[in-house]
Structure 1
């Protein structure tokens, strides 16, 4: 077989070392020559953020962080950055925090140093997202790609097991979607396969020993691989569905991904046997869905959208909202009927097999 593809590798520096966040962030501030940093962290993480940035030239700490980055929240952060004449954004937190930093960078061009505290993966992508009313809009822009990432697995030790599982499965969804997303290529598939293998090894260790560092490191490394693959491959069907569900019905981001993923895999795998074989090989199982469901059972993962606040009578509206964004390259044909079956199964928490 002759290989033909185009692959773009995004340029950013990654510092990965447990217990080193403070030193690593300081090194990045020095490299960038920043003198007035804006630290973005949710109210629950401002203490940790202040410890990480202690002694640095911080102009302000901004804690107005909201899930799915509503436009008014982004505008307030942009105004704060302008008022304090900042020259660097330091985000300390999960996907919502990183997303808010990206919203500021999108209109200002300010560089970001991202310090993740979940396995969201947004820090390794050039994808931004904003929610206005009930609609979440996403886009791609080089300005929002963090200049550097500081990965410190010790920051994950306080992340509750339930949130760790949901966040880790969100990362795994990046891997699965990268197998058949619109711009996928063999490099993305290789990264995604290794991401699945590493997450499948690390997440059970996090559940068994939440205070242990090795499982957290494995999961964090897997989440990074997943995000790099996703940044190149683009959004597949799974993410198109979850963006609508999150933005339109204000569902929690990571648990929604954890619930929807097996249903998308069940739909697409029969139409994409090579991708399914890669996923299965990464899990060490006969099929990808078998491996995913075994892992979800092992982790006691979220199972039903109705448990997350999604109502049964919202399914027809969701189908109508999702259909226009279904990628043409999706391996399985998506019809209103098949999409309704998928969402109903996810709402009920039905076995996708």
Structure 2
């Protein structure tokens, strides 16, 4: 066996239907009493459902900031920080997906406030010490153990109304975390177990959710898979897939989960010549792969009825060259050398919505 290093994630997880009722106790456990609630504008009404739960536990929310948005733009963070100071919050509770949790991380790392997450999607951001922020059209990421939320409450009840389409793309986004962890430079056996188990759970549950969105067992299985995949993202380095998605999302204002969904099979196809063992292990946990991981991913995306082209989200064909230039401008580790022309063709295929194939 190859030598490795493993650093366990110190975050606390509370998992199960109805676990939101434990939120007051979790805040008290941190010796806090005035949480700032965070959400997107679309979830402002839903997050208000936490207020009576908190009050029943003798916790009075300091306020609600409901302007979280994708890619965590710094101007929104500055506005949220001012509100945090004005309302006198002593901790932050993020309710939602990656956009809201990203804002919670941005506030927490700047202020030192404890951060509690209530995820309502499968994005996995709540399990990572990584913060991606956008300023002046460029998305940058930083990693710091202090960014990792301290407590995460996984209550499947809050995922039951997640639209089928967003469930699908959010879940594939989670799978992407696990897939890149399998061939990360600093991967290890524990993370590999989590990555394969998380991918399997999501690949099996997401098609059920798309056709039966109120299936509680499938929703619970997907949330379990998302937790494991998020652990992978938070524990080892990422490569081409995540670099491409950050470039595309931050530079062209493309939706986060949808971009990850489109890019994943193409990024894996690009790297496939250099990761044969990973490709086999991935094929083994993808239904209907017939021993071919790229086929398995293509079949999964077909079953999930998701859009396959970035052009469907507003990316222009002339942006392909710009995206390739940005993607190669900052060197980063990847199992296959980053070559501009094959990478440009990979991005073009993502733009056009073609099926992935390993021929570059």
The two structures have a TM-score, normalised by structure 2, of 0.94
For 1:46 and 1:351, the matched residues in 2 are separated by: 37
Question: What are the residue-to-residue correspondences of 1:33-44 with 2, within 5 Å?
Answer: 33-44=31-42
Q: What is the alpha-carbon root mean square deviation over aligned residues?
A: 1.2
Q: Which residue of 1 aligns with 2:24?
A: 26
> Aligned partners of 1:312 and 1:272: how far apart in 2?
30
- The number of equivalent residue pairs is 350
Deviation at 1:325, TM superposition (A): 3.5
1:125-144 to 2 correspondences below 5 Å? 125-144=128-147
In structure 2, how many angstroms separate the alpha carbons of the residues matched to 1:212 and 1:19? 16
1:50 equivalent to 2:48? Answer: yes
Q: Which moved more, 1:187-196 or 1:243-252?
A: 187-196
CA positional deviation for 1:19: 2.6
Shift of residue 43, structure 1, vs aligned partner = 2.0
1:186 deviation in Å?
2.1
In structure 1, C-alpha distance between the alignment counterparts of 2:49 and 2:19, rounded to whole Å: 12
Write the distance in 1 (CA, Å) between the matches of 2:64 and 2:6.
37
Structure 1 residue corresponding to 2:281, chosen from 273, 278, 288: 278
Residue range with higher mean Cα deviation, 139-148 or 40-49: 40-49
Assess if the C-alpha contact under 8 Å between 2:203 and 2:286 holds in 1: yes
Q: Does 1:293 find its partner at 2:298? A: yes
Instruction: Tell me by how many angstroms 1:326 deviates.
Output: 4.8
Aligned match of 2:320: 315
Q: Which moved more, 1:153-162 or 1:48-57?
A: 48-57
Q: Distance in 2 between matches of 1:243 and 1:187?
A: 27
User: Following TM superposition, by how much is the alpha carbon of 1:163 offset from its aligned partner in structure 2, in angstroms?
Assistant: 0.8
Q: 1:192-247 deviations in whole A, cap 9, x for unaligned?
A: 11111000111011012111111111111111100101111122110000001111
Do the aligned residues in 2 keep the contact of 1:166 with 1:258 (CA within 8 Å)? yes
Contact 1:68–1:136, Cα closer than 8 Å, also in 2: yes
Evaluate the alpha carbon distance shift between residue 53 and residue 147 of structure 1 in structure 2; reply closer, same or farther with a 3 A threshold: farther
Q: Compare 93-102 and 64-73 and name the one that shifted more.
A: 64-73
**Aligned partner of residue 240 in structure 1, secondary structure:** helix
Separation (CA, whole Å) in 2 of partners of 1:49 and 1:196: 29
Moved beyond 4 Å, runs of 4+:
none
Q: Determine if the alignment matches structure 1 residue 347 to structure 2 residue 351.
A: yes
The separation in 2 between residues aligned to 1:182 and 1:82, in whole angstroms, is 41
Query: Of 253, 257, 269, which residue of structure 1 is paired with 2:272?
Result: 269
1:69–1:131 Cα contact (<8 Å) kept:
yes
Unpaired segments of 5 or more residues in structure 2?
none
Q: Is the 8 A contact 1:188 1:230 kept in 2?
A: no
1:3 aligns with 2:40: no
Give the distance between the partners of 1:250 and 1:266, measured in 2 at CA.
24
Q: Cα deviations across residues 301-322 of structure 1 (Å, max 9, x unaligned)?
A: 2200110111100111111101
Q: SS state of the match for residue 312, structure 1?
A: coil
